[in-house]
Structure 1
Amino acid sequence: MRDDVALSFDGAEPFRGQRPRAPAGQMAGGQGPMGRNGASVLPFMPFDLGAPSSGNVAPPSGRLSYGGGSGNGFGAFEDELPLLEELGINIPQIMRRTITVLNPFRVNPDLHEDADLSGPIIFCVLFGVCQLLAGKLHFGVILGWTTLASLFLYMVFNLLAGKNGSLDLYRCVSLVGYCLIPMVLFSALSIFVPGRGLVKLIMAAVTVLWCTRSCTSLMAVLVPHADEHKVLVAYPCGLIYMAFSLLVVF
């Protein structure tokens, strides 16, 4: 019985000799090369995209750049304009125009040579916020009345001036919006004045005169041939700002 077992092992020996042997320096089973101490030595593959690998991979031809071809990464955005300047919103210019409108006795028309809509939109929103603090939701009414008031003043002036009428709607909206600043102050102060007494009515009358004077003074200087119809233009301007004052009082 032992001889048979021995013969069976001896017969399997030729098959063992046919198994391919692992080359020197490589573990059995193809696990990779081995070092001098028998430890496995695996090739290192770097995962850094900016550095070339140690294999046969060619290095990248250039660095990634965003916003330009300078190759400095995000440094190209330093040459971009600020967001407010790209949108056409000049905060220092709006502040200077606000100060000159707040002075009812001396209006500087040079600051209003270039009309814009960013300032009027800001003041309309502030007017709506003051009304909201007083418990009145008038955002849509304020924007709608500003648009209708600008159209009304544009049509009235051009009808009065006839062929000499050169007031464009864009400048008209800008003037009406900037001269709304005293009305915004009146709306903010009216929060602390309770009721609809005589004090609030006097404040409303003064504010209407203030807004009307500022609007007519600016229009008489900025618009050609407007000085001839200054008194007539003051009437629709007074009606416009009187309607805004009714929102605050009532």
Structure 2
Amino acid sequence: MAKDFTVPPVVFPSGGNPTTGGANIQQRRVPTAPFQPSRPSNSGIPFMSFDIGSAAATAPSGTIYGGPIGGASANFDEEEPLLDELGIHPDQIWKKIRSILNPYRVNFVVHKDSDLSGPILLYMSFCLFQLLAGKLQFGVILGWIVVSSIFLYVVFNMLAGRTGNLDLHTCTSVVGYCMLPVVILSALSLFMPHGGIVKFVIAAVFVLWATRASTALIVSLADGGDEHRGLIAYACFLIYTLFSLLVIF
């Protein structure tokens, strides 16, 4: 036996039944967005009721196209070159390297502004020539460079005392630029026979070249080293002898 359920009648706010089809049925209006323009009767495409040509003519061209692009190009032209922003000056590096070529007339004026760009270039060249000779010594050379700079810095300041004004940055720059004779020696060793007294004599000449150049630079750039020139030269001689041993053996 089926059970009957009592369903309450549905009352619409309009006061009528939608299924009856009476005149009280109200059609729902689709709301329009507040930013949506009204559609004119003479335009068949929505949102195209305005005149593009007149809008482009009335708008100032500098604010749309000329302003940002022109300003960006002007700012880009005023930017410094990338090498100058990194502190790398090729012309100064070349002047400092060229001053080392003559050990009797070292121009210490160009070495007053110490930098590490030139020494890094010479260190990488030395490592490259050693690699071409079949010697993988990147870590050894880097370690000896750091130890040599600290060693020469400590020795000079101990000798000069309170009058010494040699900082570690200047000392590293001088030791690096005076590596030029050792770099040339490593390049020449690729064409020289292994062993023999000739290679030792050539290495001794290049070591004396580097020693004289570094001693002259340190004494000229720092105060209090004139009376200790011999001891400073001995310390520089030990440093570049170690690097020349890497080339010979």
TM-aligned CA deviation for residue 79 of structure 1: 0.8
User: In the aligned structure 1, how far is the partner of 2:52 from the partner of 2:181?
Assistant: 69
Report the AA paired with residue 184 of structure 2.
L
TM-aligned CA deviation for residue 73 of structure 1: 4.2
TM-aligned CA deviation for residue 76 of structure 1: 2.5
Mapped contact 2:166–2:222 kept (Cα < 8 A) = yes
Q: Sort the Cα spacing of 1:73 and 1:163 in 2 relative to 1 into closer, same or farther, 3 A.
A: closer
The alignment's TM-score, normalised by the length of structure 2, stands at 0.74
State whether structure 2 residue 230 is matched by structure 1 residue 231.
yes
Match for residue 155 of structure 1?
154
Relative contact order, higher structure (CA 8 A, sep 6+): 2
Match for residue 84 of structure 1?
83
Match for residue 27 of structure 2?
none
User: In the aligned structure 1, how far is the partner of 2:52 from the partner of 2:245?
Assistant: 76
Unaligned runs of 5+ in 2: 1-41
User: In the aligned structure 1, how far is the partner of 2:52 from the partner of 2:188?
Assistant: 71
Mapped contact 1:70–1:76 kept (Cα < 8 A) = no
Structure 1 runs, 4 residues or longer, greater than 6 Å off: 41-45, 55-58
CA RMSD of aligned residues (A): 2.9
User: In the aligned structure 1, how far is the partner of 2:187 from the partner of 2:69?
Assistant: 52
Mapped contact 2:115–2:173 kept (Cα < 8 A) = yes
User: In the aligned structure 1, how far is the partner of 2:194 from the partner of 2:78?
Assistant: 55
Q: Determine helix, strand or coil for the equivalent of 1:192.
A: coil
TM-aligned CA deviation for residue 237 of structure 1: 0.5
Match for residue 245 of structure 2?
246
Match for residue 137 of structure 2?
138
- Give matches, 1:24-103, under 5 Å: 53=52, 62-63=63-64, 71-103=70-102
Q: Determine helix, strand or coil for the equivalent of 1:191.
A: coil
Q: Determine helix, strand or coil for the equivalent of 2:63.
A: coil
Q: Deviations over 1:126-165 (max 9, x none)?
A: 1101111111111222121111100000011111112222
Q: Determine helix, strand or coil for the equivalent of 1:111.
A: coil
Match for residue 4 of structure 2?
none
Match for residue 189 of structure 2?
190
User: In the aligned structure 1, how far is the partner of 2:202 from the partner of 2:127?
Assistant: 19
Corresponding pairs, count: 205
Q: Sort the Cα spacing of 1:143 and 1:72 in 2 relative to 1 into closer, same or farther, 3 A.
A: same
Q: Deviations over 1:57-82 (max 9, x none)?
A: 996983479xx967344343111111
Between the aligned residues of both structures, percent identity stands at 51
